[in-house]
Amino acid sequence: MALTNALNATLNGMMTTELKTALVSQNIANADKEGYTRKSLNTQYITTSSGSVPVSGVVVGSTDAFLVASLVDDISAYTKNKVVSDSLDYYNTQLGSTDGSNTLSTYIDNMYATLKSVATNPETSANKSEVVNTANNLASSLRNLSADIQNLRQTAEQKIASSVNNVNAILDRIDALNDKITSFAGNDAGLAEYEDQRVVEIQNLAKEMDIQYFYTSDNQMQIYTESGQALLLSQPRHLSYTTTNVVHSTTLYPAGFSSIDLDGTDLTTMLTGGNLGGYISLRDDIYVSEQAKLDEFANVLQTQTNSLLSQGASIPGRSLMEGSLSGLTGATPFTATGSMRVAVTDSTGTIVNYSDINLAAMTNINDVLTAINGVAGLTATLNADGELSISVTPSTNGVVINPMNSSVTSSSGENISEYFGLNDLFIGTNAENIQISAYLVSRPDYLSVGVLDSSGGLVAGDKGVARGDGSVADLIASALTSSQSFNAAGNFAAQSNTLLAYAQAFIADASTQASITEGETETSYLVYSTSNNLMTSQSGVNIDEETAKMLVLQNQYSAAAQVVSVIQQMLDDLINAVR
């Protein structure tokens, strides 16, 4: 009958209003919960001859799948840029400014000043000590900067391992949520809540790496890397990675680092977004480039300084002169042109005896040793490291060399003193291990700032090395401020520049890179923030709106209750009339 139909429709409406009220209450209670989206009831109706009646509803979230997909891409881009920017900002702080008091530029200036002092007053031991000290400061600065770079690469390496673990854990959680979503097909509220949690996890995954994902017909999420390798289908596929515990400048991918593997495929170079993309870029590209530039600076500094010093002689001469070229044997091939002068001098630089040695007929290192041993008072051998070692008897005298017109053709044409590294100031293979030769650390007055007389009329008792001769020191000072040839290194092209200008460019470039990445980070954050705010405004909870809904629902419920009361009264009246 009509009254019964009316009562049924009203009661169904009241139950629907109760469900909607519960959802509004839930929305308000979870307004500040991460990833929570506004829930609503999609009411379903049946239509009969008496009209439409609400019979049930489906609880749904308000997430926009297209907005989530866009946000996921934006998260990966922003996270990568933020990782790189934060690291470069720290690195730039470690380098200091181009005019700072503890920079490469300052140490070069100081070394130039001390060399000029020696050139003017070469007989002053304190001046030579200052040259060695400033050179040591410069070498220490290079080693420290190199250590900073490798520490940053080590940090990136550790972060990569941590990120791989995070990826695997997130894939496991999404897989578990997939299972729960399937099992909750008949429970609308639980389904919507687990879908929210899955959206949160896919955003967490995007922070770690760049991904793409899809939904199957049964609402299962499938995840792939951006390059197309499956991470989650019916079950998660974990990344595998082994951490490298010690990182040096020579530790490079792929030989020096484990690959990030997925089912036997190396993904390392394919990961370009999120934390993984950022830390891989820092470890394998950005800081490798910085180290290469630093190594090139150290190489030019060492080569130019040692080359000039190889022409020099010291007062006093060394009683034991050892080269820096190691690994030699008597049979090591040796060919050269020209001659060199080897002399024994007393503590004042006066010639005791000397010999001009013709190098043209030599074929191996034994020939060199034999020729030097022919000079009275000298003994030439190879030490335990295979380095040329020349000792003087008595030890109160010293040995000095003028390479004259010698050219070692079995090497790169350098003079014989430079070839053996007999007068080296700097030793080492790169910026990571450059240091001052031990003989100068212990005796700075052995610095070869003068030249052994090469005149044909030189005899015993003549001054072999003039006490006022600082010509070699002056040449080195000039080299510090003259253009040198630098090979391409990192993001620097091959160039002709002074050591000072190269050092300043190195520091300035780091500042420029930090500024550029900061700008890229700000831009990507604005894009991410816009996407995030748009999604929040569309799917998040607005307390004012929910409160207003609650008032509307309250009015609806009150009106329905009043209708029930009226129908009840009418039914009572009808029953009484029948009686």
pLDDT at 135: 96
Task: Identify whether 38 is part of a domain.
Answer: yes
376-406 CB burial, b ≥16 within 10 A, e <16: eebebebeeebbbbbbbeeeebbbbbbbbeb
d(CA 77, CA 319): 64
Calculate the average pLDDT of the chain.
Answer: 90
Task: Identify whether 398 is part of a domain.
Answer: no
Q: What does the DSSP assignment read for 165-201?
A: HHHHHHHHHHHHHHHHHHHTTT-HHHHHHHHHHHHHH
Q: Which residue has the higher pLDDT, 16 or 157?
A: 157
Count Cβ atoms within 10 A of the Cβ of residue 550 and give its class: 0-12 exposed, 13-18 middle, 19 or more buried: middle
Q: Which of 2-11, 168-177, 461-470 has the highest mean pLDDT?
A: 168-177
d(CA 567, CA 167): 61
Range of the domain at 58: 2-62+541-578
Write phi, then psi, for 514 (nearest 5 degrees): -65, -40
d(CA 500, CA 478): 12
Structure tokens at 450: 């003068």
Per the CB < 8 A criterion, the answer to whether 131 and 111 are in contact is: yes
pLDDT at 540: 65
496 falls in which pLDDT band (50, 70, 90)?
very high
Task: Say if residue 330's pLDDT is above 90.
Answer: yes
Give the angle subtended at the CA of 485 by the CAs of 480 and 489, to the nearest 5°: 110
pLDDT at 187: 54
* Number of separate domains in the chain: 1
286 falls in which pLDDT band (50, 70, 90)?
very high
pTM to 2 decimals?
0.86
Task: Identify whether 195 is part of a domain.
Answer: no
Task: Say if residue 99's pLDDT is above 60.
Answer: no
Q: What is the CATH number of the domain that holds 22?
A: 1.10.287
Task: Identify whether 13 is part of a domain.
Answer: yes
100 falls in which pLDDT band (50, 70, 90)?
low
> CB neighbours (10 Å) of residue 150?
19
pLDDT at 192: 80
Long-range contacts of residues 16-21, Cβ cutoff 8 Å, at least 24 apart? 16/41, 16/43, 16/54, 16/57, 17/553, 17/556, 17/557, 17/560, 18/557, 19/57, 19/59, 20/549, 20/553, 21/550, 21/553, 21/554, 21/557
Count of residues making up the chain: 579
Kindly give the residue spans of alpha helices, DSSP state H, lying in 184-261: 188-208
H or E segment to which residue 459 belongs? none
Give the angle subtended at the CA of 191 by the CAs of 188 and 196, to the nearest 5°: 130
What radius of gyration, in Å, describes the C-alpha atoms of the chain? 40
Task: Identify whether 69 is part of a domain.
Answer: no
Structure tokens at 525: 């954050």
Residues 6+ apart with CB under 8 A from 539: 37, 38, 61, 62, 63, 64, 67
Residues 6+ apart with CB under 8 A from 461: 350, 351
Q: What does the DSSP assignment read for 67-121?
A: HHHHHHHHHHHHHHHHHHHHHHHHHHHHH--TT-TTSHHHHHHHHHHHHHHHHH-
Provide the angle, in degrees to the nearest 10, between the axes of the packed helices 125-183 and 65-95. 170
Task: Identify whether 7 is part of a domain.
Answer: yes
pLDDT tens-digit series, residues 54-91:
776 776 666 677 888 899 999 999 999 999 999 999 99
484 falls in which pLDDT band (50, 70, 90)?
very high
pLDDT at 534: 83
Task: Identify whether 26 is part of a domain.
Answer: yes
Count how many Cα atoms sit within 13 Å of the Cα of residue 547 in the half-sphere of its side chain.
Answer: 4
pLDDT tens-digit series, residues 538-564:
766 677 776 887 788 778 778 878 887
pLDDT at 140: 95
Task: Say if residue 170's pLDDT is above 60.
Answer: yes
Task: Identify whether 50 is part of a domain.
Answer: yes
Give the angle subtended at the CA of 485 by the CAs of 482 and 490, to the nearest 5°: 125
Query: SS3 for 338-381, per residue?
Result: CEEEEEEECCCCEEEEEEEEECCCCCEHHHHHHHHHCCCCEEEE
Q: Which of 542, 396, 564, 525 is nearest to 80 (CA)?
A: 525
